[in-house]
Structure 1
Amino acid sequence: MGRTYFVAGTDTEVGKTFVSAALLTAAANAGLQTAAVKPVASGCARTEAGLRNGDALLLQGAMTLELDYQQVNPFALEPPIAPHIAAIEAGKQLSVSRMAGICRGVMSAGADLVLIEGAGGWRTPLGPRVLLSQLPRELNTPVILVVGMRLGCINHALLSAEAICRDGLPLAGWVANFAREGMARAEENLATLEALLPASLLGVVPHSETRDYREAARHLDIRPLLPA
């Protein structure tokens, strides 16, 4: 069985899927077999095949293993709102144990690197007293933190790292993603994050209008994620 990581973000819209796809591409470029799961996704479109989420489809296209969509995104919700609210409106219950079972199935499918992408930030609720952070805890997976580089990111990154470590999971690395352009004092903010976050910086992804994850892969170093 290969290495599995949970990909968390400092907030929503920080580029978790984009960075995950870039990490998968970097691993594939190194000759590794890859797979990914986005257990829950809201903002899905109705298609002839059923509800489909753009982020999950992006991951499905970036990985090397061929998996059914239901394995990649077992909980697909239509409205682009918080997952627990979308689930209530759809009359569905978001089950951490079911998510964990599907993730374990993918983890045992033979990939060298498996990424499980979260939704929103670390404490995204799935229901009453149920948080998405319970999933990586149940799977006991190290965490990769995607930091959206913008004003306020230092506080968000440090609080996320503290919560991850408090939950007993190692922070395996972090990625600085410039999803937006024009951040003031970017280098100074990067230096502060490097000094304060207790994990390796896996790469700095510059802002790009094309948002080509294959190009972003060139800015990542996956060696800290692989066996020595």
Structure 2
Amino acid sequence: MTTYFVTGTDTDAGKTLVASGLLALAQRHGRTTLGLKPVASGCDSTPQGLRNIDALTLRAQSEPAPAYTTINPYAYAPAIAPHLAARRVGEAPTLDDLITATTAPLAEKRGLTLIEGAGGWRVPLNDTEDLAGLAVRLGLPVILVVGLKLGCLNHARLTAEAIRADGLPLAGWVGNLTDPGLSFNTAADADCYHDNLATLERTLNAPCLGIVPRLTADTPAMRAASAADHLALPGDE
């Protein structure tokens, strides 16, 4: 399987960072790549239309790069839940719409294709459907990005349970250090951090594809390359 759905424990868990890093890593292995972000809110107005930084980051790691609207067919300006952002402009995309929008790019069967969700697993797409339903309809294995911070054990385990309850395999998980206040000043701090990772490894029952530390790279491309240094592709871990 070369197509995966990328979800996170919550908003800002680091889905785009991890997805772009995996795409960059696949390119190092000589694979063609494609990153899709079917629905995105928090988009900026540009002369070319609404553009989302996460979608642009995925496009930059897609080789060969398609048109922006292939990556992100449903773009909304407000930085709120996608179904609420869509409602503000009188839209309500459905899973059928997303299936239609992703059919052609998925048919290309690139070396690695990643479809990034929005927020966490249960983020609504509209009043009756969740965005996770796209992964279910396509039958995709899931990569879970765990934002490493206080509360992540509960969030990660619940998300893994929900993914499996929806009938999908958890292909792997990635820990992303998101908490700027997390301290390693003492041995006890470091021990607690590693104990948390051990708990995730024991309870998620899926391969760990890497642990991404806080990165200092300035640009999305540099961050993707740095993240790739800490990741393994599914099946290669």
Question: What TM-score, normalized to structure 1?
Answer: 0.95
The count of corresponding residues between Structure 1 and Structure 2 is 225
What secondary structure sits across from 1:78 in the alignment?
coil
Report the equivalent of 2:209.
Answer: 202
Equivalent-residue separation in structure 1 for 2:234 and 2:174 (angstroms): 13
Report the equivalent of 1:119.
Answer: 118
Q: Tell me how far 1:186 sits from its aligned partner.
A: 1.5
Structure 2: segments with no counterpart, 5+ residues = 183-188
Q: Tell me how far 1:34 sits from its aligned partner.
A: 0.5
What secondary structure sits across from 2:88 in the alignment?
helix
Q: Tell me how far 1:225 sits from its aligned partner.
A: 6.3
- 1:148-185 CA distance string (max 9 Å, x none): 00000000000000000000000000000012334352
Aligned counterparts, 1:32-181, within 5 A: 32-181=31-180
Report the equivalent of 1:220.
Answer: 231
What secondary structure sits across from 1:126 in the alignment?
coil
Q: Tell me how far 1:3 sits from its aligned partner.
A: 1.1
What secondary structure sits across from 1:36 in the alignment?
strand
**Any conservation in 1 of the 2:217–2:226 contact (CA below 8 Å)?**
no
What secondary structure sits across from 1:31 in the alignment?
coil
1:77 aligned partner, one-letter code: Y
What secondary structure sits across from 1:125 in the alignment?
coil
Equivalent-residue separation in structure 2 for 1:159 and 1:72 (angstroms): 29
Q: Tell me how far 1:98 sits from its aligned partner.
A: 1.6
Equivalent-residue separation in structure 2 for 1:215 and 1:104 (angstroms): 31
Equivalent-residue separation in structure 2 for 1:215 and 1:162 (angstroms): 30
1:3 aligned partner, one-letter code: T
Q: Tell me how far 1:121 sits from its aligned partner.
A: 0.3
Equivalent-residue separation in structure 2 for 1:75 and 1:35 (angstroms): 17
Report the equivalent of 2:186.
Answer: none
Structure 1: segments with no counterpart, 5+ residues = none
Identical pairs, percent: 47
Equivalent-residue separation in structure 2 for 1:15 and 1:223 (angstroms): 17
2:194 aligned partner, one-letter code: E
